[in-house]
Amino acid sequence: MENISDKIQKIRSEYGDKALVPEDLNSDPIQQFESWLADAIEVEASEPNAMAISTVDSENNPRSRYVLFKNIVNDSLVFHTHYESSKAKEINNNPNVSGIFFWPEIYRQIRFEGVASIADSKVSDEYFKSRPRGGQLSAWASHQSEEIEGREILEERIKELEKEFEGKEIPRPEFWGGYLIDVHHWEFWQGRKNRTHDRFSYSKVDTEWKTVRLSP
């Protein structure tokens, strides 16, 4: 049987040849991000708002996971989570984070670096109200990142909550809500043939954004 190394060596994907030139770039990276995200949604990319978030734990070990980007508030990226989860504890200890969006359908990637902080309760409340009722119940039921003996414990807790909130509006639990990521560095990557990709970065200099082309 063919081993995994041989299989990997045979993987070859060309990234098209759509150019990314300075004239294409918005001077504001948030608007450039919104434009690319809109393109990803337009082509029905799989989970276009999925973003990988990297943090470090108390021993400086890097940790990454996917979360769902849900909004832009005051030019900051917003995602929601349990405030007692591993990633929340890591952010509270060290708010510096990095992240990636990747849309293979259009050969594009966005990388960013920034500082995370807890969102205003209004931001969290508004999003929680928009969640399906099942998602609201799961926020209450899950002690995110904690060890659990079996799935049946979670399912039983949800049943209890369904009875508790039957016929009622489900309030947002205080231990669950949003984070804002104030981004100070962006990188936009457009895949091109023969790995001659186009890359541009935006870095904050005082109150202005400096844009430079990077070698692929």
Residue 143: name the closest of 126, 130, 157 by CA.
157
- What is the rounded average pLDDT of the residues 192-207? 94
Residue 36 has pLDDT above 80, yes or no: yes
Q: Which residues contact 16 (CB under 8 A, 6 or more apart)?
A: 107, 191, 192, 193
- 3-state helix vs strand vs coil in the chain, percent to 5: 30, 35, 35
Please give the pLDDT value at position 17.
86
Residue 190 has pLDDT above 90, yes or no: yes
Residue environment code for 162-189, b if the CB has 16+ CB neighbours within 10 A, otherwise e: eeeeeeeebebeeebbbbbbebeebbbb
H or E element in which residue 71 lies: strand 71-73
- What is the rounded average pLDDT of the residues 170-198? 97
Rounded CA gap, 216 and 191, in Å?
9
Task: Compute how many other C-beta atoms are within 10 angstroms of the C-beta atom of residue 113.
Answer: 16
DSSP bridge pairs for 81: 177
- What is the rounded average pLDDT of the residues 80-85? 96
Q: How confident is the model at residue 166 (pLDDT cuts 50, 70, 90)?
A: very high
CB burial class (10 A; 0-12, 13-18, 19+) of residue 36?
Answer: buried
Rounded CA gap, 87 and 53, in Å?
9
| Number of residues written out for the chain | 216
Please give the pLDDT value at position 13.
79
Q: What is the mean pLDDT of the chain?
A: 95
In the chain, what percentage of residues exceed pLDDT 90? 88
Q: How confident is the model at residue 197 (pLDDT cuts 50, 70, 90)?
A: very high
Residue 12 has pLDDT above 80, yes or no: no
- What is the rounded average pLDDT of the residues 24-43? 97
CB burial class (10 A; 0-12, 13-18, 19+) of residue 211?
Answer: middle
Place of tokens 């608007």: 31
Contact (CB, 8 A) for 36 and 25 = no
Please give the pLDDT value at position 153.
92
* Tokens read off for 200: 């541009």
Residue 11 has pLDDT above 90, yes or no: no
Contact (CB, 8 A) for 35 and 26 = yes
Give pLDDT tens digits for 87-144.
999 999 999 999 999 999 999 999 999 999 999 999 999 999 999 999 999 999 998 8
